[in-house]
Protein backbone atom coordinates (compact mmCIF):
# COMPACT_ATOMS: atom_id res chain seq x y z
CA UNK A 1 0.00 0.00 0.00
CA UNK A 2 1.47 3.38 -0.99
CA UNK A 3 2.00 6.15 1.55
CA UNK A 4 -1.14 8.30 1.32
CA UNK A 5 -1.54 11.75 2.83
CA UNK A 6 -4.35 14.30 2.67
CA UNK A 7 -3.94 16.97 0.01
CA UNK A 8 -5.05 19.51 2.62
CA UNK A 9 -5.26 19.21 6.41
CA UNK A 10 -8.61 19.14 8.19
CA UNK A 11 -10.74 17.27 5.64
CA UNK A 12 -9.73 13.64 5.93
CA UNK A 13 -7.44 11.19 7.66
CA UNK A 14 -5.92 7.85 6.78
CA UNK A 15 -5.58 4.99 9.24
CA UNK A 16 -4.94 1.26 9.09
CA UNK A 17 -8.62 0.66 8.30
CA UNK A 18 -8.81 3.23 5.49
CA UNK A 19 -9.90 6.78 4.78
CA UNK A 20 -12.28 8.87 6.90
CA UNK A 21 -13.69 12.36 6.46
CA UNK A 22 -13.35 14.72 9.42
CA UNK A 23 -16.28 16.70 10.74
CA UNK A 24 -17.16 18.72 13.81
CA UNK A 25 -19.72 17.76 16.44
CA UNK A 26 -21.43 20.35 18.63
CA UNK A 27 -22.50 18.70 21.90
CA UNK A 28 -24.60 21.72 22.87
CA UNK A 29 -26.58 21.81 19.57
CA UNK A 30 -26.28 18.02 19.02
CA UNK A 31 -25.38 18.66 15.37
CA UNK A 32 -22.51 17.44 13.18
CA UNK A 33 -20.93 19.56 10.42
CA UNK A 34 -18.65 19.01 7.43
CA UNK A 35 -16.05 20.26 6.88
CA UNK A 36 -14.56 20.86 10.32
CA UNK A 37 -15.26 24.13 12.09
CA UNK A 38 -13.64 25.98 14.95
CA UNK A 39 -16.96 26.79 16.67
CA UNK A 40 -20.60 25.77 16.32
CA UNK A 41 -22.37 28.17 13.93
CA UNK A 42 -25.62 27.69 15.89
CA UNK A 43 -24.44 28.16 19.49
CA UNK A 44 -20.93 29.61 18.99
CA UNK A 45 -19.73 27.00 21.53
CA UNK A 46 -16.69 24.73 21.11
CA UNK A 47 -16.95 21.67 18.87
CA UNK A 48 -15.25 18.28 18.81
CA UNK A 49 -13.48 16.88 15.75
CA UNK A 50 -15.04 13.54 14.78
CA UNK A 51 -14.49 10.93 12.08
CA UNK A 52 -17.54 10.58 9.84
CA UNK A 53 -19.08 7.43 8.37
CA UNK A 54 -17.53 5.92 5.23
CA UNK A 55 -20.91 5.09 3.72
CA UNK A 56 -23.91 7.21 2.82
CA UNK A 57 -26.79 7.65 0.39
CA UNK A 58 -26.75 9.49 -2.93
CA UNK A 59 -29.04 12.51 -2.49
CA UNK A 60 -28.49 14.25 -5.86
CA UNK A 61 -26.00 14.16 -8.72
CA UNK A 62 -25.09 15.71 -12.04
CA UNK A 63 -22.69 14.77 -14.82
CA UNK A 64 -20.28 17.42 -16.11
CA UNK A 65 -19.12 17.11 -19.72
CA UNK A 66 -15.78 18.90 -19.47
CA UNK A 67 -12.30 18.31 -17.98
CA UNK A 68 -11.99 18.08 -14.19
CA UNK A 69 -10.49 21.07 -12.41
CA UNK A 70 -6.71 20.98 -12.69
CA UNK A 71 -6.83 18.96 -15.91
CA UNK A 72 -6.77 19.81 -19.58
CA UNK A 73 -7.97 16.36 -20.63
CA UNK A 74 -11.52 15.12 -20.65
CA UNK A 75 -11.75 11.81 -18.80
CA UNK A 76 -12.01 8.82 -21.18
CA UNK A 77 -15.76 8.66 -20.58
CA UNK A 78 -16.30 12.29 -21.56
CA UNK A 79 -16.63 13.97 -18.16
CA UNK A 80 -17.22 13.29 -14.48
CA UNK A 81 -20.01 13.18 -11.89
CA UNK A 82 -20.51 15.40 -8.84
CA UNK A 83 -23.18 15.19 -6.21
CA UNK A 84 -24.36 15.20 -2.64
CA UNK A 85 -24.04 12.27 -0.24
CA UNK A 86 -26.11 12.07 2.96
CA UNK A 87 -24.17 10.53 5.85
CA UNK A 88 -25.81 8.89 8.90
CA UNK A 89 -24.56 11.76 11.11
CA UNK A 90 -26.95 14.14 9.32
CA UNK A 91 -24.23 15.69 7.17
CA UNK A 92 -24.66 16.26 3.42
CA UNK A 93 -21.26 16.16 1.63
CA UNK A 94 -20.61 17.85 -1.73
CA UNK A 95 -18.23 15.57 -3.62
CA UNK A 96 -16.88 14.16 -6.83
CA UNK A 97 -18.56 10.86 -7.66
CA UNK A 98 -16.78 8.10 -9.53
CA UNK A 99 -19.31 6.66 -11.96
CA UNK A 100 -21.07 7.07 -15.28
CA UNK A 101 -24.65 8.39 -15.56
CA UNK A 102 -25.98 4.87 -16.11
CA UNK A 103 -24.29 3.75 -12.84
CA UNK A 104 -25.98 6.35 -10.61
CA UNK A 105 -29.42 6.43 -9.02
CA UNK A 106 -30.74 8.75 -6.31
CA UNK A 107 -31.07 6.85 -3.04
CA UNK A 108 -28.35 4.31 -3.83
CA UNK A 109 -25.73 3.37 -1.20
CA UNK A 110 -22.33 5.04 -1.70
CA UNK A 111 -18.84 4.42 -0.28
CA UNK A 112 -15.96 6.83 0.46
CA UNK A 113 -12.64 6.33 -1.38
CA UNK A 114 -9.37 8.22 -1.69
CA UNK A 115 -8.98 10.34 -4.83
CA UNK A 116 -5.28 10.49 -5.72
CA UNK A 117 -4.51 14.00 -7.01
CA UNK A 118 -0.70 13.90 -7.23
CA UNK A 119 2.21 11.53 -6.56
CA UNK A 120 5.71 12.55 -5.39
CA UNK A 121 8.94 11.05 -6.73
CA UNK A 122 9.12 8.89 -3.58
CA UNK A 123 5.66 7.43 -4.30
CA UNK A 124 3.73 9.44 -1.69
CA UNK A 125 0.16 9.92 -2.90
CA UNK A 126 -1.61 13.20 -2.12
CA UNK A 127 -5.32 12.57 -1.85
CA UNK A 128 -8.67 14.21 -1.79
CA UNK A 129 -11.84 12.16 -1.57
CA UNK A 130 -14.67 10.88 -3.73
CA UNK A 131 -17.65 8.60 -3.35
CA UNK A 132 -18.39 5.53 -5.48
CA UNK A 133 -21.40 3.22 -5.68
CA UNK A 134 -21.19 0.75 -2.79
CA UNK A 135 -21.91 -2.11 -5.20
CA UNK A 136 -18.61 -1.47 -7.03
CA UNK A 137 -15.76 -3.72 -5.86
CA UNK A 138 -13.33 -2.02 -3.47
CA UNK A 139 -9.81 -1.29 -4.77
CA UNK A 140 -7.60 -4.29 -4.25
CA UNK A 141 -10.50 -6.73 -3.86
CA UNK A 142 -10.71 -9.76 -6.06
CA UNK A 143 -13.87 -10.34 -8.12
pLDDT tens per residue across span 28-87: 999 999 999 999 999 999 999 999 999 999 999 999 876 555 555 555 557 789 999 999
Residue 100 pLDDT greater than 60, yes or no? yes
- Strands (E) in the chain, as ranges, are 4-6, 12-15, 18-26, 31-33, 48-51, 55-64, 80-86, 92-97, 109-119, 125-133
Phi and psi for 103 in degrees, rounded to 5? Answer: -90, -15
Query: 78, 65 in Cβ contact below 8 A?
Result: yes
Amino acid sequence: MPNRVPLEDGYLVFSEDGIRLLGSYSPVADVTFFPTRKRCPITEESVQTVELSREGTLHAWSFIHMPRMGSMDIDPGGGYAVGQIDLPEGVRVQTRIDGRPEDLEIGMPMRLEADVVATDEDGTEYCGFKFVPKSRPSPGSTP
